[in-house]
Structures are given as structure tokens and as C-alpha cells.
Amino acid sequence: MKSLWIGLLLAGSMSFLFTGCGKITSNVNPDISINDYQNYYVIPDEDDTRDVGVAIYSDLQSRGLNVEVGPETRIPESTEIKVAYETKWMWDITFYLYDLVIYLKDPKTDLLMASGQSHRPSLDRKPADEMVREVMDQILGVSTETGK
């Protein structure tokens, strides 16, 4: 009986080692003050059936930014930042957003201005809108504790 408990404890400990914790990272071009830009254009991913693009749009709009959505071929002249994103979904009893990467690019040159990523294994999963918020907070330099 004692060996069964030791085995279960060891298996549980190993599962935590392999699942890891969530990780949020960002890279912002040091020559750019990303907070000076107000006009964003979100390009929806054709394969986005879970409305991550809508979550990005809503998050940017909630920050008081001017946001439009549409295909890359119709970017308005007033756009200062083009927003693209990639998602990776995993299955563990239900589908969950495993990886989210958001790219902020210059709409004229397509050069990367900033990017951010949220990586969430199964035991640390969050809804897509929360992952969007934490990535944008990281990119924009917003403290998640104070919201500023």
C-alpha cells in the first residue's frame, strides 16, 4: 500500500514538471513608442473559428483606441498599426487556447513593431479574451496588478 502512495505521489509530481506554467512574453522595438499610436487595423485569421480576432478588436477598443477589422487588402490609409495573430489550440477534455501570438506591424512596410505571446498549458488555461488582454498589457507596458 505504501508503494502505491509513493507511486501516485511521484506520478503527480512528474505531471506538474511536464505541464509547466503559463508564460507571457513580448518584444517591442526600442525605437518605437507603441503607446503613441491610436489607429489599429485587425486582420482576421481565415481559420479563426473561435473569435480570437473579435477578442483582439474588443480589447483594443476597450483601451480607447480606434480599431477597424477587415482583410489585408483593405487597410485604410489612416491605419498606424496592422494587427495579425496566430493561435494554436490543444485538446484536453475540451479545446483550449494553448498559444497566442499577436504581431503589431507597420502597415506600409510590414516591419514588425512589437509582438507578444501567451503560452498556457492545460492546467494553466485561460479564456482567449484573457490571453489577449495579458498579451496586450505586456506589449503596451500595462501593469497587470494596477491595470495602468
Per-residue pLDDT of 43-74, as tens digits, reads 998 888 889 999 999 999 999 999 999 999 99
CB atoms within 10 A of CB 36: 7
Per-residue pLDDT of 3-21, as tens digits, reads 544 443 444 444 444 446 7
Q: Torsion angle of alpha carbons 74, 48, 45, 91, nearest 10°? A: 170
pTM of the model as a whole: 0.81
